[in-house]
Amino acid sequence: MSIAPTPIQSLKTITYAGAIIAIDAAVAKSREIGAPECIAVVDASSNLLAFARVDGAAVIAREPAIAKASTAAALGSPTGGIPFEFGANLGFASHGAIVNLGGGLPIILGGTVIGAIGVGSGTTEQDVAVAEAGRDALLKALATHLSLDVSS
């Protein structure tokens, strides 16, 4: 028995409104810890939804922040954990679209990647802390909106 392909699929993804929740929380965390950051939020398909550069963040960190978010969404896992030799090869093979720098986190709801956040300009620890703040704020807002328990 053959199943005919369907011309449409269900896709859960964050919206611009959700991205702004994550950006606002990440900017607040960036200021709180004194680490000016570039912050990018993408949807489930790695399309850029929102970007912020906190005053003082390195301008050159813009593209890495976006790439971290896109990589986290595409791979469904935090960035920076791929062994160096594989990470370097993936980066080269993807023309820089896949990065192996810490600071990119997928945003997962009910086991589905609905977007991602990428942060750059600080240390890896600062980038991750700011990304976590943005991700967690969005998941908390979604839990309230959907009346769900999204704690991990």
Chain segment 35-45, per-residue pLDDT in tens: 999 999 999 99
Chain segment 31-81, per-residue pLDDT in tens: 999 999 999 999 999 999 999 999 999 999 999 999 999 999 999 999 999
Quickly list DSSP for 112-136.
Answer: EEEEEEEEESS-HHHHHHHHHHHHH
Contacts (Cβ under 8 Å, ≥6 apart) of 83: none
Q: At what angle do helices 16-32 and 124-146 cross, to 10 degrees?
A: 140
Q: C-alpha 46: how far from its chain's center?
A: 9
Please provide the CATH number assigned to the domain covering 33-146.
3.30.450.150
| Model confidence pTM above 0.95 | no
Domain boundaries along the sequence of the chain: 33-146
